[in-house]
């Protein structure tokens, strides 16, 4: 990396002539303005120069230029490309133009950024500044320099916490210590009241000590309030947050006044018109988000599962356009494939029943609608219109081909003995002409000046490297241009073959030979397409590609559900970026924005809020820089014995073999990037009286003696192979396979496949043939599963069993058939398996309901199939028989049953074997959850420790635990002590047959009404006459979504629909509010007291709830 000589910077200096020119007082006069001239071979261009800064080599670092469009474009192009034919000087006014009288030559070199702006007189201008200014310089335009210094030191990489009143003393101290070097700058005083540019020479490593000295010396003082005695009594962070969270909230509110305050402001009355009214918290969140969209492009709704994110996002978009006065608008709804049906048929219509909703299953569906709109004259929408498109449909594109030929051009030999040399020999980029190659390794050289220089080694692409498109061969390594193109079926093998047919046809037309012409046209019509790769996606256009090219101003808003699934640099993630660019407003929703790493939000922030990322100094390629600043990075250096042991010190050299992002999140991510772009919603705020969620402590079961022997044999085999492969690439493969096998093998010791090292010899590492297990023998963990199922089935509680091994890649690893056999031995069990191909993703929710309605009470499936968007109201018990390595998947699947509308107690069980990797996995998942919860809203002391990086990813942590011999911290008994009384009761009752004592249907109905949210004024439904009539209608199956099954009242329909149906069927009109029609239920729940008049729905927040309480 070339070292920048910052000490050589000198603004408008370097010689006497330049100094003399900027000191003259005639520049700001109309007759003799400061100007910049560009000389090219074709023409000469001049522009007004309102500000200019150059270094001592006369290289431009900063300039503000004003001229017409064409002239500014010429200057922009010249400065970007670099030129030495620029001249700064005094303009002399002629009759129709200006000429440069006295002038000095200046040059442009390096990378520049440009900002379009206007002068005071509304004339067009551009600001050009070198990227070198971003790193070490501050530019204060019409602003006090001390505030610029404060902002500069608070931003990365310094990150100093500086109070506003500290700005001036810090600025003065920095000047005194010569850590800030102000530079002379020319600027037009008619355009700027002040302009200063200064270089900051304070080193990052010294900045904290500098601020500490300022505080110790008393130059920076904290506001004096209180004695500090109370703080000494607080023992930990939890106690501190509980004690002072109201004060902190008040401080934050004063510093950053919210756009919407639920305790003071009303939610939008427009939401009262919805078919299904929003809960108060949902209405306030949607109102705040809609107001945010008035001042910024996007907002993220992060809500716990079942908090109603879909309704909030829909209401946010609708509320925003209501605030802007638009009745009609078009919204693109970008969702996972499993949610398309739900969004198209339920989520939108429950709120806005008259909206037009289009479910786009193929790109051609959208093209057809768009073309019809164009043919109709591009009319504006008259009502809300939604286009629901899945992630897979949006990014599904045609197959790609490598269109570039292999070029081999030989140079002429001077003699026969000379070795043949080639002018070109390989594949070449069509844009820059460079040879296509891939990076094979890199060496980081640490120079004496402290800079790091990366030296890369490349290897030319061969034919086998370009068989299919991958991330490594998709672009040119030199110019980053795309080198692949869509493959299109054709009727002719080459252009030459086509011209033969064309010449014959043209000749026949010229000669007027009609029979020959018709014959040739018929031959072309029936000629088949080249179908060497039939069945592949020819001529298929990704929906996002069509939107990006043809529908730039078509959509008014974008709703993106489950945005965390698009966090990586994938085709689907790229599609989100393209959509966000062409849509005017963006609303994104997720339940788990963070998974423990700062990197989880890097690409999401870039796609939704690019201006914020640019302002913070990041580029789209700055992934590692982001993690260095706000997360944790693990670097592995390898070096030989001749290099000093302190490999990272200056002057040493080493090979950077591996760089890996590990868990760890800086709190600055929230304050700098999420505070004004994210609203957190907690489930308990939306539904203040939910049914009880019982998380039973992880149940660790002892293995049988036979299992222990087999497990030890597996461990010994892998550890022996790992020891033999130490220092080779095979060691990493073996470790990963070891932890995966150690985690899955205890659950499938009968059929688990042997493991072979995937190398040239297919070396056998471990064989499962040594130990044989009886198919009919029920293993301890399976026995525990049967005991849980026995109890749950006896209570009439349908159950889902989660597994990870489904045989999708290796058939023998599928544990589902075995578990089905085990579960069916439980009295009363009726078992089904949900596989990937059982039903299409959009129909899985309906399939699950149908299974339960048909009497199925045990369903086995992968966590991956239900982790997004499915409401498992019909299955109040979840059993994690196997744990996933993905924290996202685990957390999403764990609360699928605890949803609004659930009437039964929700139970979640976790099973594992003692003294196996399963036990260690349970602890690691608990630790990793701490970091995620700290950023998602529930901060604890341990959580903040984990957030700062004392844990790694699950697979790596498991490897580290195994290597170090660490044992699981905690035991079943200790976890049980910390568990709730109800979870202890459930744990104690495992295996017992619980004979439920059924209450009457009338009592069950009344209990259900009691649990309805306070916002629903349904006291009239508790009256005896209403209850009797309602139960009668339910028993006669007159109420959709409600039934009596085995003396149990089951309600799985939408709450509002059930209440509406019951009210309509009840014939006692005295129970309804006077002057109300039954049709009024289409918009709002009736009031209790008949003396009350029709009014607005309650808008107040729940007692004790903070305004947009983020951490609680």
Q: Is there a single domain that holds both residue 302 and residue 381? A: yes
Under 8 Å between Cβ of 166 and 213: no
Q: Is residue 927 part of a domain?
A: no
Which tokens is 838 given?
Answer: 């059982």
Whose tokens are 């409600």? That residue is 1042
| Sequence-ordered alpha helix ranges (H) in 773-843 | 780-794, 816-823
Q: Is there a single domain that holds both residue 555 and residue 694? A: no
Secondary structure (H, E, C), 603-633: HHHHHHCHHHHHHCCCCCCCHHHHHHHHCEE
Q: Is there a single domain that holds both residue 212 and residue 63? A: yes
Compute the distance between CA of residue 269 and CA of residue 494 in angstroms, rounded to an integer: 65
Compute the distance between CA of residue 87 and CA of residue 229 in angstroms, rounded to an integer: 67
Compute the distance between CA of residue 821 and CA of residue 815 in angstroms, rounded to an integer: 10
Secondary structure (H, E, C), 358-406: EEECCHHHHHHHHHHHHHCCCCCCCCEEEEEEEHHHHHCCCCEECCCCC
Cα–Cα distances in angstroms (integers) from residue 183 to residues 11, 13, 19, 103, in the given order: 6, 10, 13, 21
Cα–Cα distances in angstroms (integers) from residue 454 to residues 218, 442, 448, 654, in the given order: 44, 6, 14, 11
Instruction: At 497, give phi and psi (nearest 5°).
Output: -65, -40
User: Residue 246: how many CB atoms within 10 A of its CB?
Assistant: 10
> CATH number of the domain that 871 lies in?
3.40.50.300
* Domain boundary residue, one of 913, 947, 974: 913
Whose tokens are 């969004």? That residue is 343
Compute the distance between CA of residue 1107 and CA of residue 263 in angstroms, rounded to an integer: 7
**What is the Cα gyration radius of the chain?**
35
Residue 1068 C-alpha from the chain's centroid: 52
* Domain boundary residue, one of 888, 913, 938: 913
Q: Is there a single domain that holds both residue 445 and residue 345? A: no
E-strand spans in 194-340?
195-200, 298-303, 329-335
Q: Is there a single domain that holds both residue 197 and residue 305? A: no
Compute the distance between CA of residue 934 and CA of residue 929 in angstroms, rounded to an integer: 9
Cα–Cα distances in angstroms (integers) from residue 133 to residues 60, 136, 742, in the given order: 11, 6, 54
Q: Is residue 721 part of a domain?
A: yes
Compute the distance between CA of residue 346 and CA of residue 266 in angstroms, rounded to an integer: 27
Q: Is residue 246 part of a domain?
A: no
Contacts 24+ apart (CB under 8 A), 715-724: 715/742, 717/765, 717/766, 717/767, 718/742, 718/755, 718/765, 718/766, 721/757, 721/765, 721/766
* Contacts (Cβ under 8 Å, ≥6 apart) of 374: none
Predicted pLDDT of residue 274: 92
Q: At what angle do helices 145-154 and 167-176 cross, to 10 degrees?
A: 90
Under 8 Å between Cβ of 1107 and 256: no
Predicted pLDDT of residue 610: 92
Q: Is there a single domain that holds both residue 761 and residue 788? A: no
Residue 87 C-alpha from the chain's centroid: 48
Q: Is there a single domain that holds both residue 1019 and residue 1042? A: yes
Q: Is there a single domain that holds both residue 383 and residue 427? A: no
Which tokens is 720 given?
Answer: 């022996």
Compute the distance between CA of residue 1050 and CA of residue 1048 in angstroms, rounded to an integer: 6
Q: Is residue 641 part of a domain?
A: no
Which residues share a beta bridge with 99? 92
Q: Is there a single domain that holds both residue 197 and residue 66? A: yes
Instruction: At 336, give phi and psi (nearest 5°).
Output: -65, 155
Please list the ranges in the chain whose pLDDT falls under 50. 1-15, 531-537, 640-656, 931-932, 934-936, 939-952, 968-977, 1067-1112
Domain assignment of residue 1031, given as a range: 1001-1082
Number of structural domains (the chain) is: 7
* Domain boundary residue, one of 766, 790, 817: 766
The DSSP symbol for 468 reads: S
Name which of 1069, 791, 759, 777 is nearest 905 in CA terms.
791
Q: Is residue 952 part of a domain?
A: no
Under 8 Å between Cβ of 335 and 565: no
Q: Is residue 443 part of a domain?
A: yes
Compute the distance between CA of residue 677 and CA of residue 669 in angstroms, rounded to an integer: 11
Predicted pLDDT of residue 966: 53
Compute the distance between CA of residue 709 and CA of residue 790 in angstroms, rounded to an integer: 30
Q: Is there a single domain that holds both residue 121 and residue 210? A: yes
Name which of 700, 636, 624, 634 is nearest 662 in CA terms.
634
Q: Is residue 975 part of a domain?
A: no
Predicted pLDDT of residue 424: 77
Instruction: At 626, give phi and psi (nearest 5°).
Output: -60, -45
Under 8 Å between Cβ of 348 and 377: no
Question: pLDDT tens digit string along 435-459?
Answer: 888 777 666 555 555 555 667 778 8
Residue 479 C-alpha from the chain's centroid: 28
Q: Is residue 72 part of a domain?
A: yes
Predicted pLDDT of residue 909: 93
Q: Is there a single domain that holds both residue 388 and residue 405? A: no
Q: Is there a single domain that holds both residue 362 and residue 430? A: no
User: Residue 795: how many CB atoms within 10 A of its CB?
Assistant: 18
Furthest-apart CA atoms within the chain: distance in Å: 113
């Amino acid at each position: 990396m070339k070292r920048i000589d910052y000490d050589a910077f000198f603004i408008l200096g370097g010689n006497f002539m330049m100094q003399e020119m900027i000191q003259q007082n005639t520049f700001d006069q109309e007759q003799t303005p400061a100007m910049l001239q560009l000389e090219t071979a074709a023409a000469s261009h001049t522009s007004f120069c309102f500000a200019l800064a150059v270094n001592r080599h006369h290289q431009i670092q900063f300039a503000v230029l004003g001229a017409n469009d064409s002239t500014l474009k010429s200057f922009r192009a010249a400065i970007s490309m670099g030129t030495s034919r620029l001249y700064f000087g005094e303009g002399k006014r002629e009759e129709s133009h200006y000429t440069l009288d006295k002038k000095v030559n200046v040059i442009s070199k390096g990378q520049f950024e440009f900002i379009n702006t206007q002068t005071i007189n509304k004339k067009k201008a551009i600001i050009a500044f070198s990227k070198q200014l971003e790193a070490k310089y501050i530019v204060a335009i019409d602003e006090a320099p001390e505030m610029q210094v404060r902002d500069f030191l608070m931003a990365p990489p310094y990150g100093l916490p500086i109070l506003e009143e500290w700005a001036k003393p810090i600025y003065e101290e920095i000047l005194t210590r010569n850590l800030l070097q102000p530079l002379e700058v020319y600027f037009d005083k008619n355009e700027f009241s002040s302009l200063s540019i200064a270089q900051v020479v304070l080193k990052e490593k010294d900045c904290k000590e500098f601020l500490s000295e300022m505080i110790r010396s008393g130059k920076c003082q904290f506001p004096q309030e209180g004695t500090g005695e109370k703080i000494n009594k607080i023992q930990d962070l939890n106690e501190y947050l509980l004690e002072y969270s109201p004060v902190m909230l008040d401080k934050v509110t004063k510093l950053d006044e919210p756009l919407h305050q639920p305790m003071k402001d009303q939610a939008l009355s427009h939401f009262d018109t919805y078919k299904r009214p929003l809960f108060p918290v949902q209405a306030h969140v949607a109102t705040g988000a809609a107001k945010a969209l008035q001042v910024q492009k996007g907002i993220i709704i992060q809500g716990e599962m079942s908090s109603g994110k879909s309704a909030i996002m829909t209401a946010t978009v609708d509320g925003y356009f209501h605030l802007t006065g638009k009745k009609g608008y078009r919204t693109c709804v970008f969702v996972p494939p499993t949610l398309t049906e739900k969004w198209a048929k339920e989520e939108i219509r429950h709120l806005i029943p008259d909206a037009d909703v289009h479910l786009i299953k193929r790109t051609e569906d959208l093209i057809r609608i768009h073309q019809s709109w164009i043919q109709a004259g591009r009319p504006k929408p008259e009502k809300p219109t939604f286009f629901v498109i899945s992630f897979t449909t949006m990014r599904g594109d045609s197959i790609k081909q490598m269109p570039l030929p292999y070029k081999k051009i030989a140079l002429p030999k001077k003699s026969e003995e000379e070795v043949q040399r080639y002018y070109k020999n390989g594949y070449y980029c069509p844009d820059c002409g460079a040879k296509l190659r891939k990076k094979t390794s890199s060496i980081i050289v640490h120079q004496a000046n402290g800079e790091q220089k990366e030296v890369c080694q490349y290897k030319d692409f061969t034919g086998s490297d370009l068989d299919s498109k991958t991330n490594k061969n998709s672009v040119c390594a030199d110019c980053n241009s795309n080198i692949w193109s869509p493959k299109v079926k054709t009727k002719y093998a080459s252009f030459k073959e086509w011209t033969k047919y064309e010449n014959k046809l043209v000749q026949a037309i010229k000669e007027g030979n009609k029979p020959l012409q018709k014959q040739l046209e018929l031959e072309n019509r029936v000629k088949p397409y080249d179908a060497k790769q039939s069945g592949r996606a020819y001529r298929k256009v990704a929906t996002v590609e069509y939107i990006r090219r043809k529908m730039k101003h078509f959509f008014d808003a974008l709703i993106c559900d489950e945005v965390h699934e698009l966090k990586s640099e994938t085709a689907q993630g790229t599609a989100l970026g393209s959509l966000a660019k062409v849509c005017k407003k963006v609303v994104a929703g997720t339940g788990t924005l963070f998974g423990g790493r700062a990197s989880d939000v890097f690409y999401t922030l870039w796609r939704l809020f690019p201006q914020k990322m640019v302002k913070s100094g990041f580029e789209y390629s700055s992934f590692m820089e982001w993690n260095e600043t706000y997360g944790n990075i693990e670097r592995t250096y390898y070096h030989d014995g001749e290099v000093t042991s302190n490999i990272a010190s200056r002057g040493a050299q080493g090979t950077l073999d591996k760089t890996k992002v590990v868990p760890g999140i800086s709190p600055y991510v929230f304050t700098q990037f999420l505070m004004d772009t994210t609203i957190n919603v907690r489930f308990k705020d939306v539904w203040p009286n939910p049914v009880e969620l019982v998380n039973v402590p992880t149940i660790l079961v002892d293995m049988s003696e036979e299992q222990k022997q087999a497990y030890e044999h597996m461990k010994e085999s892998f550890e022996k192979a790992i020891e033999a492969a130490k220092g080779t690439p095979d060691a990493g493969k073996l470790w990963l396979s070891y932890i995966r096998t150690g985690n899955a093998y205890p659950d499938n010791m009968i059929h688990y496949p042997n493991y072979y090292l995937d190398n040239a010899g297919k070396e056998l590492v471990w064989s499962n043939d040594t130990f044989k297990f009886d198919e009919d023998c029920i293993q301890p963990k399976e026995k525990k599963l049967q005991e849980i199922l026995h109890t749950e089935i006896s209570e009439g509680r349908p159950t889902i069993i989660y597994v990870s091994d489904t045989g999708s890649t290796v058939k023998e690893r599928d544990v589902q058939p075995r578990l089905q056999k085990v579960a069916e031995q439980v009295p009363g069990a009726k078992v089904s398996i949900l596989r990937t191909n059982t039903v299409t993703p959009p129909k899985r929710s309906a399939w699950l309901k149908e299974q339960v309605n048909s009497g199925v009470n045990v369903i086995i499936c992968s966590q991956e199939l239900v982790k997004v968007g499915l409401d498992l109201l019909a299955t109040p018990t979840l059993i994690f028989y196997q744990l996933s390595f993905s924290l996202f998947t685990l957390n999403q699947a764990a609360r699928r049953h605890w949803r609004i509308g659930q009437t039964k107690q929700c139970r979640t069980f976790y099973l594992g074997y003692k003294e196996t990797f399963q036990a260690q996995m349970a602890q690691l998942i608990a630790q990793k959850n701490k970091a995620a919860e700290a950023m998602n809203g529930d901060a604890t002391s341990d959580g903040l420790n984990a957030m700062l990086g004392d844990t790694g990813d699950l697979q790596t942590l498991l490897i580290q635990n195994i290597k170090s011999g660490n044992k699981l911290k905690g035991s079943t008994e200790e976890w049980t002590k910390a568990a709730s009384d109800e979870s202890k009761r459930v744990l104690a009752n495992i295996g017992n047959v619980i004979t439920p004592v059924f209450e009457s249907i009338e009592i069950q109905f009344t209990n259900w009404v009691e649990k309805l949210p306070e916002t629903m004024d349904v006291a009239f439904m508790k009256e005896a006459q209403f209850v009797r009539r309602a139960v009668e209608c339910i028993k006669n199956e007159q109420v959709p979504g409600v039934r009596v099954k085995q003396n149990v009242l089951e309600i799985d329909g939408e709450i509002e629909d059930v209440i509406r149906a019951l009210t309509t069927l009840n014939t006692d009109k005295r129970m309804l509010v006077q002057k109300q029609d039954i049709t009024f239920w289409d918009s709002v729940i009736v009031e209790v007291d008949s003396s009350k008049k029709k009014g607005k729905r309650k808008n107040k927040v729940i007692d004790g709830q903070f305004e947009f309480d983020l951490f609680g």
